[in-house]
Structure 1
Amino acid sequence: MQKDIKLNNVKGVLIFLVVFAHLLGVSKSGLENMIEIIYSFHMPAFIFLNGYFSKRPSIKKVINLILLYVIFQTFYCVYRYYAGNFSVIQFTYGSPHTHLWYIVSLGSWYALAIILKKINVRKILQAALLILLLGLSFYSRFYADQIIDFIKIYYSNMHTQTLSILRTFVFLPFFLAGFYCSKDIMNKIYSSLDKFKFKLFFTLSVSVLVFIILDEYNDKFDQLFFGFLGYQKFHIENLSYTGIVLFHYSLAMLGIYLILNAVDASKSKLTQWGENSLAIFLFHMIFVFPLFNHNSWLNEQNPDTRLIICFTMALGITYLFGSRAFNRIVKYIIYPMRYLEIIYARLLNQTDRNDEYKKRHIV
């Protein structure tokens, strides 16, 4: 139970960082390094935890994610028109709105987890599939632009963000790492930095080092960490593709390691945010999208002031959508399969009642 609380606390920190990073992205001048540090590990960490909690994947979860995507993609198509982001309402389902890429990719990863579970007894086949997938993931960005250009010959609307295809490959290793991470391994991660001074020292040291590295190449690494752009967008002279991608993956795994150690296991508001992270994730852009067209007041502030404003707004948004009251209201929207099961059970019950009624009144 203690470890469940701890992981919920980690999810609580991560979902706050998701909201915070999106707000910072509205007016990021002077805050690029802060955004890059957050993006370097916060989604990989979320994906790792989703893999860890996917030991029992099911078709029901995949269907729930498909329904979620259709519902919220439709909602944001309309909402962004009224928010001023689009001049017309267009119902597009091939290009996920900003954050909804994660729902699409998660559905793909869950489907893959089902396959991996099915072939679990065939170790050689499973190992071959994993090696193939990891190879595709690692080199996906190297060949992405050429593959997309080829597909465009037949489908002109194709790009690296179509149905989150590139991100699905790029971030797949973190899902697999979580999927194959046992409780024993997780316990060893928890206990490896068991003293506060070690946690503080490692976290601060890594943060300073990463900040220095990112400051050197701050016009490139944001393109790298987003995960949806091909190699041409983050190519750095005198640095190889292999070295850059290894840096990305290593930095993300280091960030995951540190946050798992830094967050404690005591129950707090973070626990509630972690439990309700899906609602926060799906709804927080309601406040962010309008800012893209009405951010002049934010741009007028200096970076330090904008940092404080965005941090305060992120706290408020996370607190609102992470509340139990809000989640009671939207529980059937964010878990549509649950609602469909209730409807099906009631219809089945009504059918049984009708059959029983007919039997009793047969003359």
Structure 2
Amino acid sequence: MTDKVKGRECWIDVAKGIGIILVVLGHVTRNENLIRIIYSFHMPLFFFLGGWIINRNCGKNIINKQYIKKKFTNLILPFFEYRIILVLYWYIFEYRFRELDVGPIWFLPVMFFSYMIISFIMPYIKSTNAKRVVFLFFALLVIVGLLFRQYVYKLNIVLLNEVYVNSIRVLTGCSWMTAGMKANDYIINSKKVNCGLVFGITAIVCIVLSFVNGDVSLFNLQFGKSYVLYFLEGICGITAVLIVSKVISSNRLIEYLGQSSMIIMAFHEPIKRVLFFVYDAVVTKFVVEGTHEVIRTTVTGSVILTTITLVVCISVVYIFRKLIEKLPDNKWCEMLFAFMK
């Protein structure tokens, strides 16, 4: 493996690491301004990076039995394993206190089907113009699909609603993946461009547009006032993250977060709730109005709680990975613990 490829992989892991930090922060905080900014681009970032990575296969026929099996093992199998673990955890500890939900792992099957669609049309995407057309095609499909949302919901058919919602998510994911494919690292690598200036401009534009466009959430199919603004703010936020990632280039801690992003995505919610319970049990004995709900409304408090949550997540992941290393090296163990990759 060349140094160039290593460097490229390092900064992509850094970008994923920044992305998962923002995901956890977005779920921890109750600061509405912070949530609005983070949600404007944090989930699109992962689809964008997926497209950026797969871009090397443009014009090639990559979808085959081996490719599908690999993506299934990396995304769908962990999804079911996470689901089983989280349901068991909920049944043992939480069923009296909260309703069961799918949690952040909804992202995994959406990513899988987005990969399948993009891989299927990959042989026909050979030029920048082709990528532009495909991007516009997927974006148009989403816009048309959203126009029929109220009619689909009026039918009140659970299965149809689920198919509709996930179809819009997948098509939006395809749009972001195509945007990632179309993107290149000219701005990040070019010596003619001041990275600090570009970061400042894109970050400011992202923040401004996030307030102009309103609430955004791919999970809830919220795209603000305009789908166009949704993509503009997302592109600006993603560009800012990519510039920071390229400048950092390599950081073992953030890279580890990026490499463990899927595991953290799945388990940070229950870890967060346990942390809140412990925090309230300890802090409220000394501070009357110091519950986690109070501290979550502040940026500083949210960052502190997010940091602690991530430290616990990393510690748990590290310990389990060390234990798994001692297990026999066979396909059954590999499948059983696919969620720990």
Match of 2:318 among 300, 318, 325: 325
Aligned to 1:93: none
Match of 1:314 among 299, 306, 329: 306
Take 1:312 and 1:161, find their aligned partners in 2: how far apart are those partners? 38
Aligned to 2:339: none
Q: Per-residue deviation at 1:278?
A: 2.1
Take 2:182 and 2:203, find their aligned partners in 1: how far apart are those partners? 29
1:276 counterpart letter in structure 2: S
Take 2:36 and 2:292, find their aligned partners in 1: how far apart are those partners? 20
Calculate the TM-score normalised by the size of structure 2. Answer: 0.73
Q: How has the CA–CA distance of structure 1 residues 34 and 320 changed in structure 2, closer, same or farther, with 3 Å as cutoff?
A: same
CA contact (8 A) 1:148 1:160 kept: no
Gaps of 5+ in 1: 91-95, 237-243, 333-337, 344-363
Take 2:185 and 2:323, find their aligned partners in 1: how far apart are those partners? 32
Match of 1:249 among 187, 210, 231: 231
Root-mean-square deviation over aligned CA pairs: 3.9
Q: How has the CA–CA distance of structure 1 residues 189 and 73 changed in structure 2, closer, same or farther, with 3 Å as cutoff?
A: same
CA contact (8 A) 1:279 1:322 kept: no
For the pair shown, the structure with the greater C-alpha radius of gyration is: 1
Q: Per-residue deviation at 1:118?
A: 4.9
Gaps of 5+ in 2: 1-5, 281-290, 336-341
Aligned to 2:33: 33
Match of 1:177 among 173, 176, 179: 179
Identical residues among aligned pairs (%): 18
Q: How has the CA–CA distance of structure 1 residues 72 and 246 changed in structure 2, closer, same or farther, with 3 Å as cutoff?
A: same
Aligned to 2:89: 79
Calculate the TM-score normalised by the size of structure 1. Answer: 0.69
Take 2:241 and 2:221, find their aligned partners in 1: how far apart are those partners? 26
CA contact (8 A) 1:51 1:178 kept: yes
Aligned to 1:347: none
Q: How does 1:1-363 map to 2 (within 5 A)?
A: 1-24=6-29, 28=30, 31-55=31-55, 58-64=67-73, 65-84=75-94, 97-119=102-124, 132-150=137-155, 152=156, 155-156=157-158, 158-159=160-161, 164-181=166-183, 185-191=184-190, 194-195=193-194, 197-199=196-198, 201-202=200-201, 205-206=204-205, 209-210=208-209, 213-214=211-212, 221-222=214-215, 224-229=216-221, 244-263=226-245, 264=247, 265-289=249-273, 297-301=291-295, 303-304=297-298, 307-322=299-314, 325-326=318-319, 328-329=321-322, 339-340=331-332
Take 1:316 and 1:193, find their aligned partners in 2: how far apart are those partners? 40
Take 1:203 and 1:123, find their aligned partners in 2: how far apart are those partners? 23
Deviations 1:273-313 (A, max 9, x none): 22222222222122135579999722244732xx3333123
Q: How has the CA–CA distance of structure 1 residues 289 and 138 changed in structure 2, closer, same or farther, with 3 Å as cutoff?
A: farther
Take 1:207 and 1:179, find their aligned partners in 2: how far apart are those partners? 21
Take 1:72 and 1:145, find their aligned partners in 2: how far apart are those partners? 32
1:309 counterpart letter in structure 2: G
